Amino acid sequence: MKTTPYAELERQYAEILDLEHALEVLGWDQEVIMPAASGESRAQTLATLSTVIHKKITHPILVRLVQRLYRQRKDLTPQQRRAVHLVRNRVMKATRVPATLMREIAL
């Protein structure tokens, strides 16, 4: 069975959201219960995860998919159009920030 472009966007974006959730849990753990001596190691982990998320959201395949769906938005339901609009805004903002800068910010 062939996957629709919108279903592919949902799949890829769900992976990004899962990674962001993991990042949030690690950040919470760092602030609440992690021993102070583990800070540098955790910072490296958070920076790596932030970089992976940034690379996924700026990956050329995802960028092209979002652009394609945005051009074809008249064929989508209102909910799908809104989702594409929101993801497109996020992708376009992320593509303006180099991955190296994202890592530095995360550290």
Q: Which amino acid is at 37?
A: A
Question: Using an 8 Å Cβ cutoff, are 13 and 54 in contact?
Answer: no
pLDDT at 9 over 80: yes
The pLDDT score that the predictor gives to residue 1 is 65
The tens digit of pLDDT for each residue in 49-85 reads 999 999 999 999 999 999 999 999 999 999 999 999 9
Which residue matches tokens 């395949």? 61
Q: Looking at the whole model, is its pTM more than 0.75?
A: yes
For the chain, give the longest Cα–Cα distance.
Answer: 54
- Taking residues 3-32, report their average pLDDT: 93
Spatial CB neighbours of 6, under 8 Å, sequence gap ≥ 6:
69, 76, 80, 84
